[in-house]
Structure 1
Amino acid sequence: MRHVVQFVHSFKIGGSEVLAESLAKGLSKKKWKCSFWTMSSEGHLRQRLVESHIGAASFDCSAGASFSTMLKIIPSLRQHKVSALITHHFRQLFHAVPAALLTGTPLIHVEHDYHFYSDGLRYLPILRRLLLFVSSFVVVSEELVAEFRQGLGSDVPCIAIPNGVDTECFQKRNEIRLSMRSQHGYDQDCLVIGTCCRLEPVKQLNLLLTAFAQYFRSNGKARLVIVGDGSLSGELKHFAQNAGISDQVVFAGAQGNVDEYLCMFDIFALTSVNEGLPLAVLEAMSAELPVVSTDVGSLAAVVNDDTGILVQEQSPEAIAGAFGSLENPVTRKTLGQSARNRVLQHHSQESMVNAYNKILSASMKSPLRCLLRLSA
């Protein structure tokens, strides 16, 4: 059986890890044996993978460059008879290239955003050299194609495979909505604003909390639910308490039933300082939620006047105003239906899996194409 390994940073539940998990489940249906390798063993995703019959292993290298990790990858590729290796983000590619070359394993590299390189321009020349040894270089949106071609040079082959989500899993279900609201003590008059993300600085959740505090002054029936965990958990709870909204904010922690939480929400909010094309937003849109988001990364490609509000100014006033603009249930329903249609047409899991399956199958036919390109 063909065996594809996806190489991610850790077993923490983040955007690229969730995408890789979704891709693995889809590729399994295409008769691929799928495994996860990680640099760090941290996180709760391992158990989910095992339950889905997806192999999971870690090289226990949480930071920096590791020559010993590079050496460990070589026998791992051979022992597990890996047919193709997909790396997500720069560090995994850096460690995988030597082993892929020595074993003749086709290598596909995926980048989910550009801010790592805009913050560290010194990595761009290194990435350009590493990409010489890659069968396919994939980014998750057309907007990222333009950014990477500008940063790396227009001669670097780069293709876009938009992120996709399971539209059967993430859909509006009224019975789940009623059940989840009952569990949290919310009646149908409550306007529930929600987000699902890592509790890390890049997500700017202090901005979301401040905006919600302002909005709550004008709508006492508003509630905020934050699904996810991270290093800022304690700090953000303290922030909410100081803002006087701790009774109106739920920190739900990491949850395995994100689809059910989305059913409970009325509005999905994202206040990140940078992003690629986040799966969390696509999942919310698939569940017929209008989105309020900061204008970062590739979000402008999916959040517009038909699907929500893209906030140009990263200020509490602007975000609170956006919440106020979506108080009308009819408006939210119209935007939510348009949002789901957008996902169905352009961001389904099926279309994403088919695209990756195509480039994986092509890479199997010419595993040493990278070396031939160098000698040309």
Structure 2
Amino acid sequence: MKTIVQVVQHLRPGGLEVMALELMNFSTFRHNMKIVSLEGDMESAIAAWPRLEAYKNQLIFLDKQPGLSFALVKQLRNLLSELKADVVHTHHIGPFFYGGLASRLNGIAHMHTEHDAWHYNDKRHRLLHRIVSLVANPVEVADADIVAQGMMDLPGIHQLKVIKNGIDTSRFIPGDKFKARNALNLPSGVKLIGASGRLEEVKGHSILIEAMADLPAHYHLVIAGSGSLESALKAQAERLAIDHRVHFLGHVENMPMFYQSLDLFCLPSFNEGFPLAPLEAQSCGIPTAVTDVGGAVETLCPQTGLVLKAGDPEAMAEKILPFLYESRLHTPRDFVMSHADVRKMAKAYDSLTEGLCYGV
């Protein structure tokens, strides 16, 4: 069995990191797969994200410090030799640079998944991409059509494929709304809108909170996630006198239960690649609204989804208000099962990996 080594910048809760873990669950190469995190250490990572505990025998942390490190290329090269890696699979620009150079020095195949393209507006990122493309000849994958479009003008693109991310539809399933709310200590007699993700500016939670001020009193918002803006967002809700209608759960391990508690899931981001959260929510049967950024709209069920304008709280409130009362003939779960099951994603990556291993 061939050995596949995925390389990520860090292992903190996020779409890219979840996707890497899901490949370890569903790839035919899963028993010979490792994930190398350039940053962090095992103990801290598991403490912050308990889900990693189940994979700890397949995780390696290099504790990279800030800044460019050519010593890390050597360290990664030696590690790949030790692991007898056949294919290096990198995610995002930092791992692309270090993993690409290390794979070239070891003479092994390099596959890269790009999860967004907006960061290539940074000239440094374009330069790093060009360097690796010239010396390593990687096979590159975009996780959304919009990401592929953004990469097409990059110099050094040799092979570019689109493999859209998928989620585990056997885990994210419809459930009892009342039981889910009771377990999460959420109010039962309200219309409940949910959002999740890092509490950082790019995720747009402040816009959604502002929109809540324009919605009726029986509309509540629940947010799953943590981040540097948590205190500021709580203060914003208090300032708008809606803090009793905005519920902060912090990190939630049981995300299927979170989605099952909702009437609507909302992704109010300013930037996205191909986000997993809308797929997870829809797989639980929950209608979903996303802002028209990145590949977010590509995740949306066309029969049941709602597209919002990023950064416009008044327009958000205006669209959300009637949406929760609309009758629907379709369930968004059908869309996800047909288009975005993780098994379909894993099969596509396995096919690409076999081609790299066996020269197909």
Same fold (TM over 0.5): yes
**Residue 55 of structure 2 is aligned to residue 58 of structure 1:** no
Q: CA deviation at 1:192?
A: 0.8
In structure 2, the CA distance between the partners of 1:185 and 1:330, relative to structure 1 (3 Å rule), is farther
Q: Distance in 2 between matches of 1:99 and 1:304?
A: 40
Q: Cα RMSD over matched residues?
A: 2.2
SS in structure 2 of the partner of residue 273 of structure 1: coil
Contact 1:109 1:134 in 2 (8 A): no
* Match of residue 10 from structure 1: 10
Q: CA deviation at 1:60?
A: 1.2
Question: Share of identical aligned residues, percent?
Answer: 28
Q: Distance in 1 between matches of 2:317 and 2:49?
A: 37
Q: CA deviation at 1:30?
A: 4.5
**Residue 356 of structure 2 is aligned to residue 354 of structure 1:** no
In structure 2, the CA distance between the partners of 1:317 and 1:51, relative to structure 1 (3 Å rule), is same
Q: Distance in 2 between matches of 1:96 and 1:30?
A: 19
TM-score, normalising length from structure 1?
0.88
* Match of residue 298 from structure 1: 295
* Match of residue 158 from structure 2: 156
Q: Distance in 1 between matches of 2:310 and 2:14?
A: 26
SS in structure 1 of the partner of residue 19 of structure 2: helix
Alignment of 1:1-376 (within 5 A): 1-27=1-27, 29-30=28-29, 32-41=31-40, 43-44=45-46, 47-52=50-55, 54-118=57-121, 120-132=122-134, 133-152=136-155, 156-174=158-176, 177-186=177-186, 188-215=188-215, 219-303=216-300, 305-312=302-309, 314-328=311-325, 330-331=327-328, 334=329, 337=331, 339-366=332-359
Gap runs ≥5 in structure 1: 370-376
Contact 1:113 1:144 in 2 (8 A): yes
Q: CA deviation at 1:31?
A: 5.1
Q: Distance in 1 between matches of 2:55 and 2:238?
A: 39
Q: CA deviation at 1:238?
A: 1.7
Q: CA deviation at 1:325?
A: 2.1
Q: Distance in 2 between matches of 1:156 and 1:135?
A: 7
Give the residue type in structure 2 aligned to 1:312.
K
SS in structure 2 of the partner of residue 225 of structure 1: strand
Q: CA deviation at 1:122?
A: 4.5
Q: CA deviation at 1:314?
A: 2.7
Give the residue type in structure 1 aligned to 2:341.
S
Contact 1:311 1:318 in 2 (8 A): yes
Contact 1:46 1:56 in 2 (8 A): no
Q: Distance in 1 between matches of 2:302 and 2:109?
A: 42
Contact 1:304 1:310 in 2 (8 A): no
Q: CA deviation at 1:178?
A: 2.1
TM-score, normalising length from structure 2?
0.92
Give the residue type in structure 2 aligned to 1:167.
T
Contact 1:83 1:364 in 2 (8 A): yes
Q: CA deviation at 1:184?
A: 4.4
Q: Distance in 1 between matches of 2:11 and 2:239?
A: 33
Contact 2:100 2:138 in 1 (8 A): no
Q: Distance in 1 between matches of 2:62 and 2:56?
A: 20
Q: CA deviation at 1:23?
A: 1.4
In structure 2, the CA distance between the partners of 1:30 and 1:157, relative to structure 1 (3 Å rule), is closer
SS in structure 2 of the partner of residue 240 of structure 1: helix
Deviations 1:192-231 (A, max 9, x none): 100111111110211111011221xxx2222111111111
Higher RCO structure, 1 or 2 (CA under 8 Å, sep 6+): 1
Deviations 1:253-289 (A, max 9, x none): 1121111100101101111111011011111111111
In structure 2, the CA distance between the partners of 1:104 and 1:156, relative to structure 1 (3 Å rule), is closer
Q: Distance in 2 between matches of 1:46 and 1:199?
A: 16
Give the residue type in structure 2 aligned to 1:286.
S
Give the residue type in structure 1 aligned to 2:244.
D
Contact 1:227 1:254 in 2 (8 A): yes
Gap runs ≥5 in structure 2: none
In structure 2, the CA distance between the partners of 1:321 and 1:80, relative to structure 1 (3 Å rule), is same
SS in structure 1 of the partner of residue 214 of structure 2: helix
Q: Distance in 2 between matches of 1:350 and 1:304?
A: 19
